Structure 1
């Protein structure tokens, strides 16, 4: 007998814990070659950007060499994306510096300890959110609002690099304070530093345009070091990185107090949120491209593990690098083996090659950061939002200005709060569709979408266009009552379609009870249709079902319409036309079935067709004595035979 291709229970459990193991099925030499190329490409980008982003976080350049190997390896093991690179992130680095900068002096041992503690807390928050399956929370944050936040964050990152490019010292404070300081001290610009920074930016942009396969950041870094060493730029006033200690630091838990942890908690939640928000989009994009699935909750766990690893090695918060992820994918990488190899190569640099970076100009590092975050300043997206929908543009603009005016953490709170407000506001607006029958069919459609849809006099069929819950319950009740009051023909029954309400809450059930009483006081019956089982159980427990009556709860809307017609004498042409259309559809089905019938069955089928034709004739005679409908509402029923 052959081997069972299905994985064992133990292997399946390991694959759930570490999606990386599942991605290795069928791994061969050709895939290894692609992953190695991806690793070399990512390492070439990571070393210079990592050193630059470490300075964004307020730490020395070597902090990236210490902490990112663990972050790369842990995300590789626990994340679900096969191409995403989780290492240094400009946005996370700035959030980290903003959080810790309010508690300690940059460069002090306390600053380093608090930064590591912040990374650990951010990792714990993200991992806990993943374990609790809170990944779906991402859908509640407006992409347009986050676009504005990221744009503002990019401007803050850029303004912090300008002094390095100009050779100016002393700029502090928020965005506008730094901008004012730079403008007022332009006369102190160091010409040679400006030349180095400008040349670095120009070279980065030129190399990126010439070929994406060339690691522009690494090439500029190497040239910058070579030119700096050859011309002794440090002796001419150009700031350089200086001595970088070789080796690694052992893992350790930062020595901080409980009070410090509580102060770091808002920033940790912010880092977890921003890291997840900037990672989940690219992760889904790569998954769709390569035909596999990513799990948002598993992504949270992977991000949490990466930040825990960074914090344990005296590093800083980790996040998604879109540029390195894209380069990894373009190199053909198929698994997270590329991240594991990148981690190993980074360790080799930390152990043996740090001395090569001593002469690296600070202006070159600043140029690498500025060019790397240009993609975060998405002007085209802001213009598109302004053209497509003003409300989305206003949300993005408010988030952008909030970051610039109030700094990173308050700006993040503004962005998150604005997203939640927009979510609740849109959900609370009473979007209520009235349903009518499409002429010639028994199908129901919203009257505002299907202009020919026919409604039955005295019966109003309403469908909330979102789930019924506490935020919109009162608005929906008021909207139903308003439409009942404004109806041209007196309303005798309201049929409410609850198809979109999967999980009714108590305020929603209480609203239905109140609506039933309000309508009853007006002599109007409330009926419900398509009530899902969880909602029906809650209606039973709250006593609403007993008030409405089980006979007024229908499995689907058509059954509710039929029950209405049984209870009320049909006098309007719309109701008789519905019956006529029903007869026509029955006749069509019987006629279609006749081709397969023979003998006695064929005779009975023809007899049934005669009876249906007779009924249709009497129906048309009846319709001639009723008030004739407008020509636009005639539908296909008037000319069938």
Structure 2
């Protein structure tokens, strides 16, 4: 084969991971993948119909969205255990977006929901091709915890009217809670009994028989008692007829204006979807020792949503509960998802009539138990003990979801995350470095008071990246350390090891610092300057101000140069003793550039040190 054609297969494998894992598939995996796929279906079918209602869609749309989502992610995703199908969080965000444009349960609403899934999919796919896989890092985990917890509480309060057989009302968490309270006298006793029985059954199975698919058992139980006791005749709402079959692919013709109206929600949905998926994906990859590509996960999530929308479904996302069940059941590869998709299609084609008598209260109970695991009040409480600022961020996000519309709450959460990031990185943290006794290692003297500093040399390290928001703060912090020193400072050595990038204000600050220190007859030295930082310093003229001779590889070279400039023979000898024989080579290299009147002195130190080593 011509060498020019070799890269093409690797490019295909890169964007179609199924071409990598499928040829390597082992027959011995099929049994556990089959069990895992059936386990996923047992959770997917009852939760899918319930989450479809959360999204404001007919139950059958879960059978349209889930199979294509499972199949698309198996083809394009790299995580072998992650299940991408129906998600309570994504369904809630979908409803919040589309309900601002159209009334729920209308043909327009269904079309717009499908369009939202397609648009969110396109955004995710583009983000993957643009290699924005690190974007989730800008969504603080504390904020995400608060946001998801608040969203779970909103979902739960929306399901309570189904358990009581009363009107649910509209609005935020507090308004819905108020509506529930004032309508309590209208509670339907048969509905309440049905809902409570299913809740008890679900909780008992989850706690004591966690290997049994609790949601599927509750679904069957609900259908049986509905038929046996004639619950429909007693006023209990049931799901009713679910059309059999699958929807054909159809492009949602919603008009350009509606696409623009959907865009903010689609963007937020894509962000939350990825933020929810990336954690479990990394965990599964680490546990099972395979490589996971965040950018390809974005493409996989995008393809799943694009397909779900094209087949008249609703936006979908990763499911932690179904993914965990898939992993526990022994899934070796994405084949378990393909099996789950195939079984779901079979159910959609031949078995939907069995869901006719299913009480709505059962679906409400299934949702409440399913999302209860998303309520992380314990984790939020832990944040209050570990770090107050993270606790405040989580509470702000939680209250925002409970008080405002979901998209407004998401915007607040993102802004709060970015504000917290800027606030933390803008703090001019500065570590004063000292040498570990007897070793050529320097670290923070505040953490290690026994470390030794060199009189007259202030060695400091910024604890954050130096950029426009903290540049002036760093300069002031360095000046403060100088002026508070008990001995006069003759040189400042700045360790830029933590600075992987430098903007113009940061580089200008170092130029101004060099000029300021020069006026005070104090030398500025830099060490651990990586190439991009040095290039920026060159562009703004800082290297000329500082002097190229004042750039050093690390502390030993910088300290040796300082001691040599001060003719501190005793200090040089102590430093070199700490570095053993390698220090002799270091000193010999420095002798060639030393002034003639100091070369003899340095030669004597080398001779003395060599005798001591031997």
TM-score (norm 2): 0.92
Contact 2:576 / 2:583 at 8 angstroms: preserved in 1?
A: no
Find the aligned partners of 1:536 and 1:505 in 2 and give their Cα distance: 11
**2:125: which partner in 1?**
127
Instruction: Point out where structure 2 has 5 or more consecutive residues left out of the alignment.
Output: 585-603
Q: In the alignment, does 2:202 pair up with 1:208?
A: no
Find the aligned partners of 2:284 and 2:582 in 1 and give their Cα distance: 50
**Residues 388, 170 of structure 1: CA spacing in aligned structure 2 closer, same or farther, 3 A cutoff?**
closer
**Residues 60, 586 of structure 1: CA spacing in aligned structure 2 closer, same or farther, 3 A cutoff?**
closer
**Residues 589, 577 of structure 1: CA spacing in aligned structure 2 closer, same or farther, 3 A cutoff?**
closer
Q: How many residues align?
A: 591
Instruction: Point out where structure 1 has 5 or more consecutive residues left out of the alignment.
Output: 1-6, 591-607, 617-639
What is the CA distance between 1:352 and its match in structure 2?
Answer: 1.6
Backbone CA RMSD of aligned residues: 2.2
**2:441: which partner in 1?**
443
Match of 1:579 among 569, 573, 580: 573
Find the aligned partners of 1:66 and 1:487 in 2 and give their Cα distance: 71
**1:562: which partner in 2?**
560
Cα deviation 1:10-57 (Å, max 9, x = unaligned): 543332122233223542222011111111111111011000000000
**1:465: which partner in 2?**
463
**1:33: which partner in 2?**
31
**Residues 433, 584 of structure 1: CA spacing in aligned structure 2 closer, same or farther, 3 A cutoff?**
closer
Cα deviation 1:530-550 (Å, max 9, x = unaligned): 211111112112211111111
Find the aligned partners of 1:259 and 1:588 in 2 and give their Cα distance: 71
**2:364: which partner in 1?**
366
Q: In the alignment, does 2:608 pair up with 1:612?
A: yes
Find the aligned partners of 1:325 and 1:586 in 2 and give their Cα distance: 55
**1:518: which partner in 2?**
516
State the 4+ residue runs in structure 1 displaced beyond 6 angstroms. Answer: 587-590, 613-616
**1:282: which partner in 2?**
280
Find the aligned partners of 1:391 and 1:580 in 2 and give their Cα distance: 44
**Residues 457, 241 of structure 1: CA spacing in aligned structure 2 closer, same or farther, 3 A cutoff?**
same
Q: Which moved more, 1:482-491 or 1:72-81?
A: 482-491
Q: In the alignment, does 2:450 pair up with 1:455?
A: no
Contact 2:563 / 2:572 at 8 angstroms: preserved in 1?
A: no
What is the CA distance between 1:568 and its match in structure 2?
Answer: 2.4
Cα deviation 1:430-458 (Å, max 9, x = unaligned): 11111122222332222112212222222
Alignment of 1:203-602 (within 5 A): 203-570=201-568, 576-583=570-577, 586=580
SS of residue paired to 1:453:
coil
Q: Which moved more, 1:215-224 or 1:152-161?
A: 215-224
Find the aligned partners of 1:522 and 1:589 in 2 and give their Cα distance: 32
SS of residue paired to 1:254:
coil
Match of 2:176 among 178, 187, 193: 178
Find the aligned partners of 2:192 and 2:175 in 1 and give their Cα distance: 21
**Residues 31, 585 of structure 1: CA spacing in aligned structure 2 closer, same or farther, 3 A cutoff?**
closer
TM-score (norm 1): 0.88
SS of residue paired to 1:503:
coil
Structure of greater Rg: 1
**2:591: which partner in 1?**
none
Contact 2:62 / 2:313 at 8 angstroms: preserved in 1?
A: yes
**Residues 11, 378 of structure 1: CA spacing in aligned structure 2 closer, same or farther, 3 A cutoff?**
same
Contact 1:442 / 1:578 at 8 angstroms: preserved in 2?
A: no
**Residues 558, 580 of structure 1: CA spacing in aligned structure 2 closer, same or farther, 3 A cutoff?**
closer
**Residues 437, 578 of structure 1: CA spacing in aligned structure 2 closer, same or farther, 3 A cutoff?**
farther
What is the CA distance between 1:488 and its match in structure 2?
Answer: 2.2
Contact 1:20 / 1:335 at 8 angstroms: preserved in 2?
A: no
Contact 2:36 / 2:336 at 8 angstroms: preserved in 1?
A: yes
Cα deviation 1:549-599 (Å, max 9, x = unaligned): 1111122222122222222243xxxx7245234247547999xxxxxxxxx
